[in-house]
Amino acid sequence: MRISPERLWAFLLVAQFACIAAALPAAAGQIAARDGKAPIIGIGGVIEPGDEKTFHDLAKAMPNALVVLVGPGGHVGPALAIGLEIRARGLQTVVPPAPSAHPPAR
C-alpha cells in the first residue's frame, strides 16, 4: 500500500500528538480536528458520553479524515458508536504505539 506525502505528514503530526498525549495523565475525552490536505480527527483521553456526537459532527464535515486514537478507552457505548461510524464511513485509523518504560532490545 502506497501512502501519499500528505498522509505521511499527517502521520508524523499524529506521532507528535501521541507523544504529548502519552506524557499527560488520562483526562476526559478530547476530540479535535485539523482540516487541510490531510484532515485529521484526533481522539485522546477517556471516551465519555457525548463524544460520539462530537465525533459524528466532525466525521460528517471531514469525510476523508484520518482518525487518530490515543488513550485508554472509556465508556463502551460511545466508543462503540464511534467505531461503528468509522467503519460505516470507511475512515482510516492510526493507533500510535504507546511509549515504553524500557528501551528496545539491541
| pTM of the complete model | 0.67
**pLDDT (tens digit, 9 = 90+) per residue, 25-56?**
444 457 777 766 778 888 888 899 999 999 99
**pLDDT (tens digit, 9 = 90+) per residue, 81-95?**
999 999 999 999 988
The 8 Å CB, 24+ separation contacts for 47-50 are: 47/71, 47/73, 47/74, 47/75, 47/78, 47/79, 47/82, 48/74, 48/75, 48/78, 49/75, 49/77, 49/78, 50/78
Which one is predicted more confidently, 19 or 35? 35
Average pLDDT value for residue range 68-73: 86
